[in-house]
Amino acid sequence: MDIKFLESLIAVVEQGSIAAAAREQNLTATAVSQRIKTLERQLNCKLLSRVGHNALPTETCIRILPRVKKLIADSVWLKADTAPGGLFGELKLGAIPTALTDYVPMLVKEFSSTAPEADLVIIPGSSSDLYDQLLEKNIDAALMIAPAFTVPKKFQMTEIAIEPLCFISHKKLEGSISEILANHPLILFDRSTWGGKLTWQWLLEQNCKFNTLCEIDAFETMVAMVQTGLGITILPKWRGLMLHKNISVREIPTAKAVCRKIILLSDRASPAQSLIELCHGNLLIFIESDTRNQ
């Protein structure tokens, strides 16, 4: 029994039609129909009921779906177990925008040389979105901001970087924090994001006046606005910040600083454990090397 045929069956059940499943699998509708018919002959039962353009699972199909899904999952594990070093299969890695530029290029380079048979799929997103995708098992791991709550034990969490908050302006500004905030428009880090909530919390604790120019979650755009003199911003000091020219970066005093923690959060039950460990090991080596060179 071909695993790919079972995957087509699952696709039809989830998508609700042969045509939609075919689009998802990049196949023709005829090819998907033939796969289903082959399965029906092999299992000697009817798996789908056609109603108009829809294809609905029969009672028999619904009854065997858990075992079909387990067979598909086990086949992934089998391939991983027999590959050299287990570096086989697909790793779906989520990444927040700054991680896309800070760490993902290094990981792509490492995968191309160390795990050429593996498929690395990068999923951009916010930390909250990536966390939801981890819960739903849509991705295997994520480079994201550490949540403010305790994560389930089924996840492994590794700290990658600590990023202190800093003022960013187009030139060096004199005066206290309160004076700077009072006299320059503030480009505010979006309060609805996990990182933005940290910045907002710090601002409220200062108990000082400030004028918000706009609110946005796009670090590169925020820095570009600062470079033109539109205002100042307060952001975590991410690795790529120092690549920007014509700006002044002033770290907030350590005693009162709020730090954003970047982590690698992964599902311990993912069949891509060997690939996750490859990411984990190379991230730690990369950070250590980066720290020595600073």
Structure tokens at 142: 């994520």
Residue-level pLDDT at 81: 60
Q: State yes or no: pLDDT of 71 exceeds 90.
A: no
CA distance 134 to 267: 7
Q: Which residues in 20-54 are b (16+ Cβ under 10 Å) and which e?
A: bbbeebebeeeebbebbeebbeeeeeebbeeeeee
- CATH 1.10.10.10 positions along the chain are 3-82
The backbone torsions φ and ψ at residue 142, rounded to the nearest 5 degrees and listed phi first, read -150, 140
- CATH 3.40.190.10 positions along the chain are 87-161+261-293
- Residues ≥6 apart with Cβ < 8 Å to 114: 87, 278
133-164 pLDDT, tens digit each: 999 989 999 999 999 899 999 999 999 999 99
- CATH 3.40.190.290 positions along the chain are 162-260
The share of the chain scoring above pLDDT 90, in percent, equals: 60
Q: HEC states along 14-62? A: HHCCHHHHHHHHCCCHHHHHHHHHHHHHHHCCCCEEEECCEEEECHHHH
Q: Indicate the pLDDT class of residue 85, thresholds 50, 70 and 90.
A: low
What is the Cα 125 distance to its own chain's centre? 5
- What's the chain's average pLDDT? 88
Angstrom CA distances, 241 to 14, 22, 71, 256, stand at 43, 44, 46, 21
201-249 pLDDT, tens digit each: 888 888 888 999 999 999 999 999 999 999 999 999 998 898 898 899 9
Question: In CATH, what number does 3-82 get?
Answer: 1.10.10.10
277-288 pLDDT, tens digit each: 999 999 988 887
- CATH fold, domain 162-260, is D-Maltodextrin-Binding Protein; domain 2 (3.40.190)
- CATH fold, domain 87-161+261-293, is D-Maltodextrin-Binding Protein; domain 2 (3.40.190)
- Residues ≥6 apart with Cβ < 8 Å to 24: 11, 15
More confident residue, 58 or 174: 58
